[in-house]
Structure 1
Amino acid sequence: MTTHPSKAGTKGVPRAARERQVLTAATEEFGRHGYEATTMAAIAARVGVTKPLLHQYFGSKQDLYLACLDPIGDRLLGAVRAAMAEPAAAAPPTSLRVLGALFTALDEQREAWFVLYDATLPPGSDALHRAAYYRGAIDDLAATGTAGLLQEAGADDPLDADALKYAWRGLCTALVRWWISHPDQSPEAMTRRCARIFAAARSFVPADSDQA
């Protein structure tokens, strides 16, 4: 999952191969350090190319970020859509299917989650607008998946759905952050762990508790 400095800038390396190496290193840099703290010089040094060559291939830092973001956003959005498309009665439950799909999609480069959910993107920038598109699309799918749960619980306040959307995003972010610090954990192991956590969490709230 971790990339190391390579000889991508040496002669004889096809441009397409160099670009892939740059995107891999840039994704990790943006994911680990955030957009604001990431520099083109650091990415170039990781790959072993010059900073001018990086600009020649990808343009500005924002252009490079967008080149990293779009494949990540498409992959995560596609993974969630596929998990949601399975029959509602399928096992495991939708929430675990979605988490399993996200873990699988992120397994090769787990920091990619924080490229999409980067809090340091410049206000009003194309980078923020593009990230917001993917975040919104994923949130909409999450809202669809949790609507039934809220109805079953008798939660008819529209703010319940909004609160749950933020809670779900925060849960996914926390789980990915924990996963990054435990690289030995496979997507399957993480999904099983979430199933155990969800089962334990049900005991925190009595079945006959009064609604607020």
Structure 2
Amino acid sequence: MRERQMLDAAVACFARHGYQAASMDEIAELAGVSKPLVYLYLNSKEDLFTACIRREAHALLAAVAEAVTDTAAPPDERLWAGLLAFFGHAAEHPDAWAVLSRHARTQGEPFATEAFRMRDEITAFVADLIGEAARAAHGPADFVGRDVAALAEALVGSAESLATWANGTPDVTAREAAATLMNFAWSGLGNLMKNERWSPR
């Protein structure tokens, strides 16, 4: 219970100030505990920040995984469910999203590795869905491997940027953000599944 309170306070503080400027005194005050108790539970500021990243990454991944449990659903419906969960979680936990998407990646190691581990898991999931769609559509033989990996990276990168924009833009809902990306991405993917590729004139 106390550790959760400290992590909650730390996430809020890191989101507001960034890693360097965040104060252990402020974190302790927000958590309603003494500073020595924070150190007793979490050893150091570095360990505390790492624990925040791991907890929030696990929560985001769990939300997405729970949303796509229906493996019998078509790939586009599973992707839609995953995007809704992703944008919904980022919107409901803006401090956590700020820590994961911005602060963890700009502070070097070991924090960046923790953040990119989460990104790699989401990208692998998206790549599996794109691969499933390609196989279901009996797509072209060359639509494998690197094509799937590249599209997954592009989609996840777009989702991350759009989630940050949506969180900072009044009146944009998670559903609207998810629909924007789904329309943008899946329409293009649908054409790829039919081997209709754009090429420069």
Gaps of 5+ in 1: 1-15
User: Using the alignment, how far apart are the partners of 1:116 and 1:65 within structure 2?
Assistant: 11
2:124 corresponds to 1:119: no
Gaps of 5+ in 2: none
How many matched pairs?
194
Query: Cα distance, 1:60 vs. partner?
Result: 0.7
User: Using the alignment, how far apart are the partners of 2:21 and 2:130 within structure 1?
Assistant: 35
Q: 2:87 aligns with which of 85, 90, 103?
A: 103
Amino acid at match of 1:161: V
User: Using the alignment, how far apart are the partners of 2:12 and 2:176 within structure 1?
Assistant: 23
User: Using the alignment, how far apart are the partners of 1:136 and 1:112 within structure 2?
Assistant: 18
- Matched-pair contact (CA < 8 Å) for 2:91–2:174: yes
Which residue is 2:165 aligned to? 178
Which residue is 2:55 aligned to? 71
- Matched-pair contact (CA < 8 Å) for 2:91–2:167: no
Identical aligned residues as a percent: 30
Within 5 A, what are the aligned runs for 1:50-69? 51-69=35-53
Change (3 A) 1:131 1:181: closer
Q: Which runs of 4+ in 1 moved over 6 A?
A: 199-202
- Matched-pair contact (CA < 8 Å) for 1:79–1:102: yes
Within 5 A, what are the aligned runs for 1:73-152? 73-87=57-71, 89-90=73-74, 93-117=77-101, 118-123=104-109, 125=110, 127-149=111-133, 152=139
Amino acid at match of 2:162: L
User: Using the alignment, how far apart are the partners of 2:76 and 2:145 within structure 1?
Assistant: 27
Amino acid at match of 1:63: D
Give TM-score scaled by structure 2 length.
0.71
User: Using the alignment, how far apart are the partners of 1:42 and 1:91 within structure 2?
Assistant: 46
Of the structure 1 ranges 61-70 and 145-154, higher mean CA displacement relative to structure 2 is found in 145-154
Query: Cα distance, 1:75 vs. partner?
Result: 1.8
- Matched-pair contact (CA < 8 Å) for 1:41–1:51: yes
SS of 1:182's equivalent in the other structure is: coil
Query: Cα distance, 1:211 vs. partner?
Result: 5.9
**Could you give the per-residue CA deviations for residues 19-74 of structure 1, whole angstroms, max 9, x where no partner exists?**
44432232133345543454434534555655444323422112212332233222
- Matched-pair contact (CA < 8 Å) for 2:28–2:35: yes
Q: 2:178 aligns with which of 183, 191, 195?
A: 191
- Matched-pair contact (CA < 8 Å) for 1:28–1:109: no
Query: Cα distance, 1:82 vs. partner?
Result: 2.5
Q: 1:168 aligns with which of 151, 155, 162?
A: 155
Which residue is 2:13 aligned to? 29
Give TM-score scaled by structure 1 length.
0.68
Which residue is 1:12 aligned to? none
Aligned CA RMSD, in angstroms, stands at: 3.7
